[in-house]
Structure 1
Amino acid sequence: MISVVIPTLNARDALPETLACLWDANADGLVREVIVTDGGSADETLAVADAAGCQIVAGGPGRGSQLGRGAEAARGEWLLFLHADTVLSPEWEGEVGAFCARDEAAGAFRLAFARKGIAPRLVAAGANLRTRTLGLPYGDQGLLISRARYERIGGFAPLPLFEDVDIARRIVADGGRGALRLLASRAVTSPARYEQAGYVRRVLRNQWCLLAYLRGVPTETIAARYA
């Protein structure tokens, strides 16, 4: 039923745990296939994906382009886009199975970080509030969407960043704010980027970039500053 699409770039260390959370759903028939869409990894990412039985799609870097290539190769009625450093909480299979059976909406998971502390909890709470009120999740929350809706809105754009915001805005434009729902299951993601930059600095930089994007600043310009 579901094709899971995972963009990778030198994700050898994180990918096994992400794939492990999908195994039961694969055995139960909910997950039809797992597609690893690689952007030119120089480590053993592809060996890990191949050993796990994933379908591999290779091409140039850029998450928007990678996600688009993965979706083109997918055969499922539903698509689940998931980052390579994100692990779904154990109850996700039951919730997603029920969601797909009854719902035409798209969904994103409740964000959590794989780290204890006030800062990770506050950042995650802010992301979940943004998703609930604005229908605007980021990619590390995953995206569950029917193939029909995905194709109707034009799929992922080949953007260097904010491909997640771009598609979320088109989902909402297509079906209203209720068309993108916050699921109860958690997407537990790595806090490495926040810890390297500092949580406050990273949040402020993310917000600056988002506001620039919403004002129409070209994504290539933002990417140069973002990097």
Structure 2
Amino acid sequence: MRLSVIVPVLNEASGIAATLGALAPARAAGDEVLVVDGGSHDGTPELAAPLADRVLVAEPGRARQMNAGAVAARGDVLWFVHGDTRVPPEAPEIVRGALLSGRAWGRFDVAIAGRARTLRVIAWCMNRRSCLTGIATGDQALFVRRRAFEAVGGFPDQPLMEDIALSRSLRRRFGWPACPHGPVVTSGRRWEQGGVWRTILLMWRLRLRYWLGADPETLARLYRQVRERP
């Protein structure tokens, strides 16, 4: 069971070496690591090249980048790891064990690195919500058998909530995800730069509107407008 780790990036120069360094054990075991760049201008591809098997270029947009990586991947399992997320050394074997138990897909618990203590509460809520709903977010390093990913058509081509949409399709078709505790560690910069509570309220608002049927393009514009405000 060979893993293809797909890492979508856009201007991740400050942390890409740590992300890919944490995946070195997977490469040493024969798995592949694909970095898919969406148009970085900070040198991310150059920094990633020595630490990955291939660096690809795709149209910007996380869903498009991850789908492009999936097309190029050679493994039996597709494992999507964000560019600011670090996985524990034992993570590849955790993925294999989870899928060999009969599940078609899964995700990790997540911890959020940062100064604010509130980030621990956010991570706990994310993990708990995911367990109760069977829905994974991209920060949780989603993994899926290739045949299951292809059966549901991959990530929908939308600028926001692509992880939720894929999770819903996988849950409907293949059942609930495996939920190993891990955890993987993701950066808390998004919350800290935008203000922790402000970002929490924004994400709750966007998710509620998405569940009520709002167009992802509209939600993406709202997300950018709010994040760009001083």
TM-score bracket for this pair, using the shorter chain length: over 0.9
SS at match of 2:12: coil
Identity %, equivalent residues: 36
Hey, what does 2:98 align to over in structure 1?
99
- Alignment of 1:137 with 2:136, yes or no, is yes
Aligned pairs (5 A) from 1:153-172: 153-172=152-171
CA deviation map 1:64-116 (0-9, x unaligned) = 11111111111100000010000012332332232233333311111101135
- Going from structure 1 to structure 2, the CA distance change for 1:103 and 1:21 (only over 3 Å counts) comes to farther
Aligned pairs (5 A) from 1:187-206: 187-206=184-203
Contact 2:35 2:52 in 1 (8 A): no
CA distance in 2 between partners of 1:65 and 1:53 (Å): 19
TM-score by length of 1: 0.94
- Alignment of 1:225 with 2:222, yes or no, is yes
Hey, what does 2:63 align to over in structure 1?
64
Hey, what does 2:227 align to over in structure 1?
none
Q: Which runs of 5+ in 2 are unaligned?
A: 225-230
CA distance in 2 between partners of 1:193 and 1:136 (Å): 21
Contact 2:7 2:80 in 1 (8 A): yes
Aligned pairs (5 A) from 1:103-114: 103-114=102-113
Contact 2:25 2:89 in 1 (8 A): no
CA deviation map 1:21-79 (0-9, x unaligned) = 111122123x2x11111111111111112122431221221111111111111110000
CA distance in 2 between partners of 1:226 and 1:15 (Å): 24
CA distance in 2 between partners of 1:130 and 1:159 (Å): 23
Query: Structure 2 residue aligned with 1:181, among 154, 170, 178?
Result: 178
Alpha carbon RMSD of aligned pairs, Å? Answer: 1.3
CA distance in 2 between partners of 1:85 and 1:21 (Å): 11
CA distance in 1 between partners of 2:35 and 2:153 (Å): 21
One-letter code aligned to 1:97: R
Q: Quick check: which one's strand share is greater?
A: 1
- Alignment of 1:7 with 2:8, yes or no, is yes
Contact 1:128 1:182 in 2 (8 A): no
Contact 1:78 1:100 in 2 (8 A): no
Q: Which runs of 5+ in 1 are unaligned?
A: none
CA distance in 2 between partners of 1:68 and 1:214 (Å): 23
Query: Structure 1 residue aligned with 2:206, among 199, 209, 218?
Result: 209
CA distance in 1 between partners of 2:60 and 2:157 (Å): 10
TM-score by length of 2: 0.92
